[in-house]
Chain A
Amino acid sequence: MTTVSQDPPKAVAGRLGRGSASHKAKLDWTGWKFIGPFMLIFAFVLIAPVVYSIYLSFFKDQLVGGNSFVGFANYIQVLGDSKFWESLGRVSIFLVVQVPIMLLLALFAALAIDSARLHFPAFFRIGIFLPYAVPAVVATLMWGFMYGVRFGLVANINDFFGISLPDPLSNEWVLASIGNIVTWEFVGYNMLLFYAALRVIPTDLYEAAELDGANHLRIIRNIKLPALRPAIVIGTIFSIIGSFQLFNEPNILKPLAKNTIVTSFTPNMYAYNLSFSGQQYNYAATIAIVMGVATAVIALVVQNRGSRKEV
């Protein structure tokens, strides 16, 4: 048995010519040379920081008393930290409300542009995509000015129509206002993702469907949507990660709404403020690790469910 199973590789090697051990080693090195630069950068920018954060998370450095090893104490503290849970709850609400709205809008836009019924589809495509090219910081500042109830767009609308819109940066509305900014920013990106997936569907499928008497809605339901499935899964995973990492928008709006956007508004803001204004680097690292694991788990679940072959 063993000889039989070992034979084919030898034969292959023999056919290629020199089946010597040294050549085999050379082949191995070629692979490493290709992957080497990637591994180096990967180790430097991903593995090393993660390992260092895990290392940090087992210590506690105090202003009084200095640095000491505390085992899992930081993790236990995170699990009982109401500020952490509040911030996680906030981004979870954001996730379940904002992400579906954004993805549906993106889907609608992609289908509309792909339908070939629009005049100037390229104009719409670039128009919807353009906000993605605006840096998040600039976009947030811009929206921040528009949200102003005294000098901004909201103030102008109120003055013009003699009405009183609710303050977009008040306690009740601030999360929705941030959702609006994020949606504006990322609809175009997701649309492009979906649009690209639609473009690779062979057109003869549409012809066949039309011959069978299928209308447009039918084609969308039975051809386009199933073909879009992988793209939707990818878009969802990106959006989940983006929601859990929410930071730029609330952090930039904070000076405009300092009493409603607290320092622990999102998990990332909480970790940031703990480390950079509270010098609690160890605890911040712990939060980062916990959030990283949580995000990875949820993303994995979505991926598994999304790519499961049904029907």
Chain B
Amino acid sequence: MKIRSTRRLRRGAAALTGVLALGLALSACSSAGGSAETGNADDIAKALDTETTITVWAWAPAVEQIAKDFEKEHPKITVNVVNAGTGNDQYVKLQNAIKAGSGAPDVAQIEYYALPQFALSDSLVDLKGFGFDSFADKYTDSTWNSVSLNNGIYALPQDSGPMALFYNKAVFDQYGIAVPTTWDEYVAAAKQLHAADPTKYITNDTGDAGFTTSMIWQAGGQPYKTEKSTDVSINLQDAGSKKFADTWSQLVEGGLVSPITSWSDEWYKGLGDGSIATLTIGAWMPGNLESGVAQASGDWRVAPMPTWEKGQAASAENGGGGDAILKQSKNKLAAAGFLQYMNEGDGTQTSIAKGGFPSTVADLNNDSFLNYESPYFGGQKINQVLVQSSKDVVKGWQYLPFQVYSNSIFNDTVGKAYANKSDLNAGLEAWQKATADYGNEQGFTVKTGN
């Protein structure tokens, strides 16, 4: 038995590194239907040679193309790509399907912040069962850390969003403002810019949970801790959270941030006409700027995210996510095959080509990627800044096992501070309380404060 299993493992490793189709020739013991929750590369290869249809819920633009390429390589597999909404819209549907016990897809795109909610509620397959834990070295630490929950691997990372400061160089030059390297300089620049031209703002912000948590992350805060999957502690007044809130409150209270909501038409307009001068956002932003703010081509540049101490190297992840296999799936082996192709195999190149920022180390260190001179950014080698950021992501961050709901009530609580232009700390405390109430309501044991 032992000999057999090691032989299988070795065989699995061979197939993984090489061509999946080779596995066809090998006969392993596995159910043909592919509903097993574990299996080695041979089992997966065998499942991929069986007539199967799998459904994938994803909104990433590359997935359609990846599915087509995959079908060409595995003619017996049909991949149904469904766009069930972006982000929260899809999570609502997914959660409902999980609750109903049927109707969920085989594979679903899930952002890192939402992953704990689905993983800890036992809705996702632990990918260790397919040996995917051996891919650890292929991904950046921060993304791999995001999919490693509760001693399992619950998704394969697809893209990542190490943060950087995107700034409109034309505006900075016009007013002779230096590009800020610390948050104190950033606040000073905000004041200087708004004083020079009251129609211009350093950035826009109407209260965004994802941005706030990423900023706290960079400031070294660790407000969320989950142990034994149900013991949760929340402290949105820890040192990092406070550091962020104290600084950012100066901008909010002083009316130094434009009250425009991100992704609105006004937002794109503001990014184009210089009235929103910077964005501190994930590395997936360049593609959005190129397509949404074409008129400002040549104006924008990328700089490292400002830090809390001068000369410190620190950043955080903002957005990005992976794809997971649902427990409900009846074709888990085939789904695993597709997942591997999409996020570990050839699909990764398609994702990058469609504007996704990679999470795979090899692609991040690829010379042609690093030395790409973006015409939109005036020929700047933007990927060097962004890749450096992915290496500087502060370690130890965790999201809540009910982060999706918590983020949905962010504007009920912290939003009030934005509406009244008042101290964000009070808003964070209200958010903490409402989040803790919800967690307790859902059966978690939630501790707040220190």
- From A26-34, A209-217, A275-283, A294-302, give the one contacting chain B: A275-283
Q: Which of B37-45, B165-173, B363-371, B411-419 lies at the interface? A: B411-419
Stretch at the interface among A41-49, A103-111, A254-262: A254-262
Asked if A63 contacts B412 (CB within 8 A), the reply is no
Q: How far is the CA of A170 from the CA of B421 in the complex (A)?
A: 12
For residues 419 through 450 of chain B, which have their beta carbon under 8 Å from a beta carbon of chain A? 419-420, 438, 441-444
Q: Does B86 contact A (CB under 8 A)?
A: no
* Chain A residues near B412 (CB-CB < 8 A): 262-264
Choose from B88, B95, B99, B261 the contact partner of A258 (Cβ within 8 Å): B261
CB distance A277 to B405 under 8 Å? Answer: yes
Which residue of B has the minimal Cβ distance to A281?
B99
**A151-B266, A277-B405 known; A171 vs B419 contact (CB < 8 Å):** yes
Q: What is the interface of chain A, defined by CB distance below 8 A to chain B?
A: 61-65, 150-151, 170-171, 255-256, 258-260, 262-264, 273, 276-281, 283
Which residues of A are found within 8 Å of B418, using beta-carbon distances?
A: 259
B58 within 8 A of A: no
- Compute how far the CA of A255 lies from the CA of B419 in the bound complex, rounded to whole angstroms: 14
Interface centre among B95, B230, B402, B442 (most CB of A within 10 A): B442
Which listed residue, A170, A273, A277, touches B404 by the CB 8 Å rule?
A277
**A259 and B443 in contact, given A277-B408, A278-B438, A279-B99 (Cβ under 8 angstroms):** no
Task: Count A/B pairs, Cβ under 8 Å.
Answer: 65
Q: Are A259 and B260 within 8 A (Cβ)?
A: no
B405 touches A259 (CB 8 A): no
Contacts A150-B260, A259-B206, A259-B415 given; does A280 touch B408 at CB 8 Å: no
Query: Known pairs A258-B411, A277-B404. 5 more at Cβ < 8 A?
Result: A150-B266, A151-B265, A259-B415, A260-B415, A280-B442
B408: A residues at CB distance < 8 A: 263, 273, 277-278
Indicate which residue in A170, A273, A279 contacts B419 across the interface (CB closer than 8 Å): A170
Which single residue of chain B is at the shortest CB-CB distance from A148? B266
Q: Establish whether residues B419 and A263, one from each chain, have CB atoms under 8 Å apart when the complex forms.
A: no
Interface residues of B in 97-111 (CB under 8 A from A): 99
Min CB distance, A303 to chain B, in Å? 36
The 8 Å CB contact of B88, one of A64, A171, A260, A277, is: A277
Q: Would you call B443 and A62 a contact (CB within 8 A)?
A: yes
- The residue that A259 contacts in the complex, of B92, B230, B402, B419, with Cβ under 8 A, is B419
Sample of 22 A–B contacts (CB below 8 Å)? A63-B443, A63-B444, A64-B444, A150-B260, A151-B265, A151-B266, A255-B261, A258-B415, A259-B207, A259-B411, A259-B415, A259-B416, A262-B412, A262-B415, A263-B412, A264-B412, A277-B88, A277-B404, A278-B408, A278-B438, A280-B441, A283-B441
Q: How far is the CA of A263 from the CA of B409 in the complex (A)?
A: 7
B121 at the interface (CB under 8 A from A): yes
Cβ 8 A contact of A65, one of B260, B405, B438, B443? B443
Collect the chain B residues with CB atoms within 8 Å of residue A62's CB: 441-443
With an 8 Å Cβ cutoff, the count of chain B residues facing the other chain is 31
A279 CB contacts on chain B under 8 angstroms: 95, 99, 405, 442
Please name the residue on chain B nearest to A61 by beta carbon: B99
A194 to chain B, nearest CB (A): 40
Give min CB distance, B314 to chain A, whole Å. Answer: 29
Q: Which of A62, A63, A278, A283 has most B Cβ within 10 Å?
A: A63
| A278-B415 contact, Cβ under 8 Å, with A63-B442, A150-B266 | no
Measured between beta carbons, the chain A residues less than 8 angstroms from B441 are: 62, 280, 283
Given the complex of chains A and B, what is the CA–CA distance between A64 and B442 in angstroms?
6
Interface 1/0s, chain B 385-416, versus A by CB < 8 A?
00000000000000001101100110110011
Q: Closest approach, in angstroms, between the C-beta of A267 and any C-beta of chain B?
A: 15
B 220-267 contacts with A by CB, 8 A = 230, 260-261, 265-266
**Hey, which chain B residues are within 8 Å of A258, CB to CB?**
206-207, 261, 411, 415
Q: How far is the CA of A171 from the CA of B408 in the complex (A)?
A: 19
Residue numbers in A under 8 Å from B266 (CB-CB):
150-151
Q: How far is the CB of B316 from chain A (nearest CB, A)?
A: 23
B97 to chain A, nearest CB (A): 12
Bound-state CA distance A12–B266 (Å) is 78
Q: A276 to chain B: which residues have CB within 8 Å?
A: 92, 96
List the B residue with the shortest CB-CB distance to A151: B266
Chain B residues in 8 Å Cβ range of A278 = 405, 408, 438
Q: Which residues of A contact B409 (CB under 8 A)?
A: 263
Most chain B C-beta atoms within 10 Å of own C-beta, residue among A64, A65, A150, A151 = A64
B408 (CB) vs chain A CBs: closest residue: A277
* A209 vs chain B, min Cβ distance (A): 56
A283 shortest CB reach to chain B, Å: 8
Task: Say yes or no: A64 contacts B230, CB within 8 Å.
Answer: yes
Alpha-carbon separation in the docked complex, A283 to B441 (Å): 10
Separation in Å of the B249 CB from the closest CB of chain A?
15
Point out the residues of chain B lying under 8 angstroms from A61, CB to CB.
99
What chain B residues lie within 8 Å of A171 (beta carbons)? 419-420
Interface string of B4-39 (1 = CB under 8 A from A): 000000000000000000000000000000000000
Chain B: minimal CB distance from A34 (Å):
37
Inter-chain contacts of B443 with A (CB < 8 A): 62-65
Chain A residues with Cβ below 8 Å from B206 are 258-259
Quote the shortest CB–CB distance from A38 to chain B (angstroms): 30
Q: Across the interface, do B121 and A63 meet the contact criterion of CB distance under 8 Å?
A: yes
How far in angstroms is the closest Cβ of chain A from B72? 38
Which residues of chain B come closer than 8 Å to A262, judged between CB atoms?
Answer: 411-412, 415
Task: List, in ascending order, chain A residues with CB within 8 A of B95's CB.
Answer: 279
A259 to B88 CA separation, bound complex (whole angstroms): 18
Name the B residues within 8 Å of A264 (CB-CB): 412
Complex Cα spacing A152 to B388, Å: 42
Residues of B within 8 A of A263 (CB): 408-409, 411-412
Smallest CB–CB gap between B35 and chain A, Å? Answer: 24
Contact in complex: B402, A63 (CB < 8 Å)? yes
Please measure, in the bound complex, the distance between the C-alpha atom of A151 and the C-alpha atom of B261, giving whole angstroms. Answer: 13
A280 cross-chain contacts in B, Cβ below 8 A: 441-442
User: Most chain-A Cβ atoms within 10 A of its Cβ — which of B99, B121, B265, B409?
Assistant: B409
Contacts of A256 in B (CB 8 A): 261
Q: How far is the CB of A123 from chain B (nearest CB, A)?
A: 36
Please, which residues of chain B bring their CB within 8 A of the CB of A151?
265-266
Q: In the complex, how many angstroms separate the beta carbon of A94 from the nearest chain B beta carbon?
A: 19
